[in-house]
Amino acid sequence: MDTVVSGIRSTGKLHLGNYFGALKNFVKMQNENHCYFFIADYHSLTTHPTPENLHENVKQVLAEYLACGIDPEVATVFLQSDIPEIPELYLLLNMNSYIGELERTTSFKDKVRLQPDNVNAGLLTYPVLMATDIIIHKASKVPVGKDQEQNLEMTRKFARRFNNMYKVDYFPEPTAYNFGETLVKIPGLDGSGKMGKSEGNAVYLTDSPGVIRKKVMKAVTDSGPTKMNQDPSEPIKNLFTIMQVVSEAQTFDYFKEQYKNCSIRYGDLKKQLAEDIIKFTDPLRTRFEELYSDNDYLGRIVNMGAEKARQSASQTLKEVREIIGFKKF
Ligand code: TYM
């Protein structure tokens, strides 16, 4: 049995990228492994520092997790901020993390560009907190999307460094995981780049059918293929990538063939894609609405999860303190 950890920041509603990048794989793994799934609410403060909608966002994401099929009786579902051992291990790991390597991280450089007025220390040490989330449970597998690959490399580096510095074989080196396949990057509807919460290009899991149709029909395309077997442009590739994960294989093959022989009508492709997304998200949205209105249930889940996660985290902290050399008088 492997230990699996995954998480999502609580910065807003979840989209198709979050589902196909992380949640789907986690759900598939939960029965055969020791699984921890958490809401990275500390991480969300690196970009959303004010409390206006902190709690609402956490609640939204929690209900969405459960609606996607995470079973809280099987997996441990918890909030990062409920585990005081996390900031403690984060502090200890920070002592062995170097400014140079943190400054070179792609996600840090991106954030510096995106929020030049708030280049906070939390952003710089984001990968250290993420490594903490993972190694505190001594996880070996981390279901995430392609964008988290570098953070996982950093996690392995910090785990290895700890082992080398203290001459122990303590932390496993975890890997980003997708059932032996390459990690997924779900593109947005705007023609380029990945689907993201802040990019304005996302289909959210809780969008209504009307909103989904509108968004998909407005997706960027091109003027159509002009010769047989032409390579699609990026916006068209993106629509096919989304179709590949939400539609039946024969639907995908049908439109691919139509593209190849230049008979495709993008309007038809989009209509089909929108209906397939709706078919996929509809049951999820219904479950979400029930869960979201049940505060007592959500409260019970996170309290139970915090207790279980703390057991594993406090055992690690006890051992780490011993390894580093803290002793009681
Ligand atoms: P976050 O909140 O940005 O995204 C959550 C998960 O969704 C995946 N994802 C995508 N996958 C494919 N295509 C996309 N367009 C797409 N957009 C998002 C992300 O890869 C991620 O798996 N740093 C993490 C949160 C985190 C974490 C952790 C994850 C904190 N500690 C420990 C795993 C383990 C993040 O910002 O994810």
| Residue 111 falls in the annotated catalytic set | yes
77 forms beta bridges with 37
pLDDT value at residue 198: 78
Residues 6+ apart with CB under 8 A from 58: 10, 39, 41, 79
Are 140 and 174 within 8 A, CB to CB?
A: yes
Atom of ligand 1 nearest to the CA of 21: 11
pLDDT value at residue 192: 83
Query: In the CATH scheme, what architecture does the domain 3-184+295-324 have?
Result: 3-Layer(aba) Sandwich (3.40)
* Domain residue extents for the chain: 3-184+295-324, 209-289
pLDDT value at residue 107: 94
Task: Compute and round to an integer the Cα radius of gyration of the chain.
Answer: 21
Q: H helices then E strands: how many in the chain?
A: 15, 5
- Name the residue of 25, 144, 158, 194 whose CB sits within 8 Å of the most ligand 1 atoms, as the mutation to test its pocket: 144
For ligand 1, say whether the CB of 17 is within 6 Å of any of its atoms. Answer: yes
The CATH homologous superfamily to which domain 209-289 belongs is Tyrosyl-Transfer RNA Synthetase (1.10.240.10)
Burial of 13 (C-beta count, 10 Å sphere; 0-12/13-18/19+): middle
| Residue 197 falls in the annotated catalytic set | yes
Question: Among 29, 40, 26, which residue's Cα sits nearest to residue 68?
Answer: 26
Q: What is the pLDDT of residues 77-112, one digit of tens each?
A: 999 999 999 999 999 999 999 999 999 999 999 999
Q: Which three-class secondary structure state does DSSP give residue 79?
A: strand
Are 73 and 95 within 8 A, CB to CB?
A: no
Q: What is the pLDDT of residues 289-309, one digit of tens each?
A: 999 999 999 999 999 999 999
Residue 81 has what DSSP assignment?
G
Atom of ligand 1 nearest to the CA of 43: 30
Ligand 1 center from residue 263 Cα (angstroms): 37
Ligand 1 center from residue 255 Cα (angstroms): 30
Burial of 209 (C-beta count, 10 Å sphere; 0-12/13-18/19+): middle
Ligand 1 center from residue 254 Cα (angstroms): 32
Q: What is the pLDDT of residues 25-45, one digit of tens each?
A: 999 999 999 999 999 999 999
Q: Give percent above pLDDT 70 in the chain.
A: 100
For ligand 1, say whether the CB of 305 is within 6 Å of any of its atoms. Answer: no
For ligand 1, say whether the CB of 302 is within 6 Å of any of its atoms. Answer: no
- What span, in angstroms and rounded, lies between the C-alpha atoms of 247 and 278? 10
Q: What is the pLDDT of residues 231-288, one digit of tens each?
A: 999 999 999 999 999 999 999 999 999 999 999 999 999 999 999 999 999 999 999 9
pLDDT value at residue 81: 98
Ligand 1 center from residue 8 Cα (angstroms): 5
Atom of ligand 1 nearest to the CA of 18: 7
Q: Which of 185, 197, 271, 308 is catalytic?
A: 197
- What span, in angstroms and rounded, lies between the C-alpha atoms of 169 and 297? 40
What are the structure tokens assigned to 226, written together? 């002009």
| Residue 271 falls in the annotated catalytic set | no
Question: Among 161, 191, 182, 137, which residue's Cα sits nearest to residue 313?
Answer: 137
Task: Indicate the pTM of the whole model.
Answer: 0.96
Q: What is the pLDDT of residues 137-181, one digit of tens each?
A: 999 999 999 999 999 999 999 999 999 999 999 999 999 999 989
| Phi and psi torsions of 254, nearest 5° | -60, -50
pLDDT beyond 90 at 199: no
Ligand 1 center from residue 4 Cα (angstroms): 14
For ligand 1, say whether the CB of 174 is within 6 Å of any of its atoms. Answer: no
> 3-class secondary structure for 249-301?
HHHHHHHHHHHHCCCCCHHHHHHHHHHHHHHHHHHHHHHHHHHHCCHHHHHHH
- What span, in angstroms and rounded, lies between the C-alpha atoms of 138 and 150? 19
For ligand 1, say whether the CB of 25 is within 6 Å of any of its atoms. Answer: no
pLDDT value at residue 207: 97
pLDDT value at residue 324: 98
